[in-house]
Amino acid sequence: MHNKVDSLPVRANPPTRPISRHRSASDIVHRVKESLTTRVSKLICGIFLSLLLCVGIVTFILWISLRPHRPRIHISGFSISGLSQSNGFETSHISFKITAHNPNQNVRVYYDSMQGSVYYKEKRVGSTKLTNPFYQDPKNTSLIEGALRGPTMAVNKDRWLEMERDRNQGKIVFRLEIRSVIRFKVYTWHSKSHKMYANCYVEVGWDGMLLSGTKDKRCPVYFT
């Protein structure tokens, strides 16, 4: 007995299309163009970012080197006469000296004006103009002197007696306020005007002279 094997129909493979050489070459050219465009774009972006980084570094270095620093004010002398006299306020006068230092390396400071006022227990004793407008070169120190006498002083008998009482206890404390209008100059560039204030607390002994504890003391400086 013979086994009968069912024969299944064999499906013929579909005919393959021949690959077009022209289309294959176009694809290659297109891919090469895309690759070149991507590389050029990356190169341009890299150059731009490098230039931007260099400009940023140069700008930062210039800002650090040319950034203006505020002047430094020190009290170098202060005296008041006539403290040993009961009516000394009638002929007394105050004299003081300060130094203004420009700590900048490449920045000049222009002082449009400067005025000094002396306070005793936050009551003004007197005020006076200190200097005419002047330029200060970098790393330069200027000595500025001022004096209060006659109509520039406002001391009555009661306030004078308070000063005498403080003197008998060892010292009198005054506050010297320096008010200035300044500008900074970097090469040909000028900044806007700034109002600068310096508060110098000074201690005067029984002889009316500045005590060594506050001589050459640096005064806090601030702008408004």
Q: Are the C-beta atoms of residues 167 and 128 closer than 8 Å to each other?
A: no
Number of neighbours of residue 184 by Cβ within 10 angstroms: 22
Residue 118: HSE in the Cβ half-sphere, 13 Å Cα cutoff: 28
Q: Give the pLDDT confidence score for residue 194 in this predicted structure.
A: 94
Give the pLDDT band (50/70/90) at residue 17. Answer: low
Alpha-carbon gap, residue 159 to 150, rounded angstroms:
16
**What does the pLDDT look like over 153-180, one tens digit per residue?**
888 888 899 999 999 999 999 999 999 9
pLDDT-based confidence at residue 133 (cuts at 50, 70, 90): very high
What CA–CA distance (Å, rounded) separates 122 from 137?
A: 34
Looking at residue 151, the DSSP 8-state letter turns out to be G
In this predicted structure, what is the pLDDT of residue 37?
A: 76
- Separation CA 208–CA 54 (nearest Å): 60
Write down the pTM of the prediction: 0.71
Q: Residue 96 carries which DSSP code?
A: E
Q: Is the pLDDT of residue 65 over 70?
A: no
Q: pLDDT at position 46, please?
A: 83
pLDDT at residue 56, rounded to an integer = 73
pLDDT at 89: 80
